[in-house]
Structure 1
Amino acid sequence: MNQAEQLQDQYVKVGSVNTRYWQAGDSGSTVILLHGGGGYIELWKYNILELAKHHRVYAFDMVGAGRSDKPDAAHYTFDFMAQFTRDFMKVLEIPKAILIGTSAGGGVALTLTLNFPQLVERLILVGSAGLGKELNFLLRVTTIPGLGKLFSSPSKSGVAMLCKQAVYDSKLITDEIVEEFYQMATLPGAAQATLNLGRSNFNIWGQFYHSITDKLHTIEVPTLIIWGRQDPMVPLTHAQNAVKIISHAQLEIIEECGHWSPIEHPQKFNQLVLEFLS
């Protein structure tokens, strides 16, 4: 039995959205894991049980992602998804949590921290969106209406290419990972929701980031920023700039690592998180 098979899918209604989540651990602080764009909770399968040895951990499929509902009319801005996360916490009676957000999930975690600081105990950003304009061209091109349509019907070869872009060592992207990602990407409404997420938060020129970066100096919670040295999706300079602005922040750089550090270097990632939270 692999780690993911030890965790059971649970569902809860957040507003009108049927939302899938995992929960592990029954002591310590509450930790909420926020996946990136096009992601889903299985991407945390190398982390959740290790973190749950010391904390009460939740991971959920964000509205519009994984096996959660994907409302057609929604605009998947970071503000919208931060509000959804707040509502998820309300439904499960979570008064305060440590947020760990990767990629777009980092943008959500930052926005929730800025909009509802009383709900956040600590903040961990992993290759986070929202900290600067620059963004990988493959992500930006999806915002062009004509070209975006090419991404609305994912192929296994296209999924494999995107997954390999996210890591330093492409050999880590197995057929099993590609198949899992492909199955999620081809669920009804998934591709359109992912395109909507992109178009709601960036365009061909880059990310919409000023609403976050202009307020970084107001973040007071202890913050850990984790970045892969060779992240091809979001440049390391975003992290290096943010750590100078956020009052109680520290930066940890993982060598020979791309955008998916929780998957590419799970032991190092888990160690950094647990040390920060101890």
Structure 2
Amino acid sequence: MNTTTTPITEEDTSRTLRIDHGILHYHEVGHGPPLVMLHGSGPGATGWANFGENLAAFAPHFRCLVLDLPGFGRSYAPPTNLVLHGAEAVSAFVDGLGLDAFSLLGNSLGGKFAAQVAAARPDQVRRLATIGGVGLPLFSPLPSEGISRLVDFVENPTREQLIAWMRSMVFDPATLTEELIERRWAAATEPEALASIRQIYSREKLSFLRDVMLDNNNEFVTLREIQAPTLVTWGRDDRVTPLDGMIPAMRLIRDCEVHIFPNCGHWSMIERKDEFERVVIEFLTRDESETTP
């Protein structure tokens, strides 16, 4: 539910921060404890594309810092695969802003990076919330349907392939308005955006992605080292990072709770917007005395 009256716009909230590797672009709005918001991957993905519509609900509670990960939006393009450097970039971002304590909200690949930062910085990360992305799929095929359709678009970037991928991201195709499709199409077909996404997803890189996802030792160690109270959320009908991926996270994270959105795919912040905002804000603002000792 929107709780502000002043419109929050993409350009008015736009900020930049220079780090050693280049310029990081982000959006900043709101007042309160810092909340770093990390988007997922995919054609046309940016911080604003993932979370722009949620900021009116979050801004009254948090200083929202919505980062464009390297290789996406207006941030610098990394020299090699983002998967290997995303958590490092997030750490450089919070250091560059001088944040002593902050919470993290990450979607999909952004959730994986958020978990890595939380594990590495237990004294700074107050709370962690994720939307898919963490854990390890135990029973589902690899690659998933959503990843396969994403690769189809990367190999043949047509509007039809983009729509096929976007349909795999949601439970209800009616969620995909013409405006949303056109906005993603415009962003996804920019030459720099295509070059960046090809560093992560392509036919030849599928085996690399599978190895990363099945690197049990690193993933399990990361989950066990997270000390912050954690909320793992998932769409029950997620066809990108299927629901069984949450089982290791639920078991291994010390203080973890789970919320599953019914009739929802990979984009719960879009498809189940009001419920997503209510559940995540309640968790992130919960009194510290209520956490498990």
TM-score, with structure 2 as normaliser: 0.83
State how many pairs are aligned: 270
* Post-superposition CA distance 1:113-155 (Å, at most 9, x none): 222333311111111145336441451577xxxxx68615522
Question: Which structure 1 segments of 5+ residues have no match?
Answer: 143-147
Q: Which residue matches 1:113?
A: 118
Q: Where does 1:192-207 land on structure 2 (aligned, <5 Å)?
A: 192-198=195-201, 199=205, 202-203=208-209, 207=213
**Aligned counterpart for 2:77 among listed residues 51, 70, 77:** 70
**Aligned counterpart for 1:40 among listed residues 35, 46, 50:** 46
Change (3 A) 1:95 1:152: farther
Post-superposition offset of 1:205: 7.2
Is residue 223 from structure 1 mapped to residue 227 from structure 2 by the alignment? no
Is residue 12 from structure 1 mapped to residue 17 from structure 2 by the alignment? yes
Q: Which residue matches 2:186?
A: 183
Q: Which stretch of structure 1 is more off in the superposition, 235-244 or 127-136?
A: 127-136
- Contact 2:153-2:162 within 8 A present in 1 as well: no
Q: Where does 1:147-158 land on structure 2 (aligned, <5 Å)?
A: 151-152=154-155, 154-158=157-161
Post-superposition offset of 1:217: 2.1
Post-superposition offset of 1:26: 1.7
User: Secondary structure at 2:82's aligned position in 1?
Assistant: coil
Q: Which residue matches 2:242?
A: 235
- Contact 2:232-2:259 within 8 A present in 1 as well: yes
Q: 1:32 is matched by which residue type in structure 2?
A: V
Change (3 A) 1:243 1:58: same
- Contact 2:146-2:169 within 8 A present in 1 as well: no
Q: Which residue matches 2:34?
A: 30
**What is the percent sequence identity of the aligned residues?**
26
- Contact 1:123-1:221 within 8 A present in 2 as well: yes
**Aligned counterpart for 1:21 among listed residues 2, 22, 26:** 26
Post-superposition offset of 1:53: 0.7
Change (3 A) 1:127 1:7: farther
Q: Following superposition, which runs of at least 4 residues in structure 1 exceed 6 angstroms of deviation? A: none
Post-superposition offset of 1:216: 1.6
Distance between the aligned counterparts of 1:249 and 1:117, measured in 2?
15
User: Secondary structure at 1:131's aligned position in 2?
Assistant: coil
Question: Which structure 2 segments of 5+ residues have no match?
Answer: 1-5, 286-293
Q: Which residue matches 2:3?
A: none
* Post-superposition CA distance 1:206-225 (Å, at most 9, x none): 82442112442222110001
Is residue 97 from structure 1 mapped to residue 102 from structure 2 by the alignment? yes
Q: Which residue matches 1:145?
A: none
Q: Which stretch of structure 1 is more off in the superposition, 62-71 or 198-207?
A: 198-207
Distance between the aligned counterparts of 1:150 and 1:165, measured in 2?
12
Change (3 A) 1:225 1:235: same
**Aligned counterpart for 1:161 among listed residues 161, 164, 189:** 164
User: Secondary structure at 2:123's aligned position in 1?
Assistant: helix
- Contact 1:130-1:209 within 8 A present in 2 as well: no
Q: 2:238 is matched by which residue type in structure 1?
A: D
Post-superposition offset of 1:101: 0.6
Distance between the aligned counterparts of 2:34 and 2:211, measured in 1?
37
- Contact 2:170-2:264 within 8 A present in 1 as well: yes
Distance between the aligned counterparts of 1:21 and 1:152, measured in 2?
29
Distance between the aligned counterparts of 1:5 and 1:214, measured in 2?
37
Q: 1:84 is matched by which residue type in structure 2?
A: A
Change (3 A) 1:202 1:251: farther
* Post-superposition CA distance 1:69-120 (Å, at most 9, x none): 213x222125x11010011111111222111111111111111122233331
**Aligned counterpart for 2:144 among listed residues 136, 152, 157:** 136
Distance between the aligned counterparts of 2:182 and 2:7, measured in 1?
16
